Amino acid sequence: MELIESKKIIVGDKKFSIRYSNRAALMYYNRISKDPDDPESLFHYFYDLAKAGAEDEKETFAYTFEEFSELIDRVPGIFGKFMEVVAEYMPEDDTKKKTK
């Protein structure tokens, strides 16, 4: 899988493109290294990847961080969906490949 491939995630009645971004990942790891229990870090990571995805798809992303946070706050289970999409960017475990 290529990291630059965009994935779609539905948030309520809106669809967002999510694309892996080294910059977003670096910012996320920097935030959690300072405060691992900060729940806002995941909101920021989701926001940054959605901005990167919109740019990649040449879509308008006209949300401030606060507006985006308010939007996703209303959708139960959204972080589970987000983490599923993000997990698709992670390399497959080599031990699984060997047992096939």
Over residues 65-94, the pLDDT tens digits come to: 999 999 988 888 888 888 888 887 766 654
pLDDT value of position 1:
44
Residue with tokens 């209303």: 74
Closest listed residue to residue 43, CA positions, set 55, 32, 54, 58: 32
Question: pTM for this structure?
Answer: 0.77
Looking at residue 79, what is its pLDDT? 85
**CA distances (Å), origin 84, targets 24, 61, 64:** 17, 22, 24
Alpha helices in the chain (DSSP H): 22-34, 40-56, 65-73, 78-87, 94-99
Query: The tokens of 45 are what?
Result: 């990571």
Q: Express each pLDDT in 24-61 by its tens digit.
A: 888 889 988 988 888 788 889 999 999 999 998 999 99
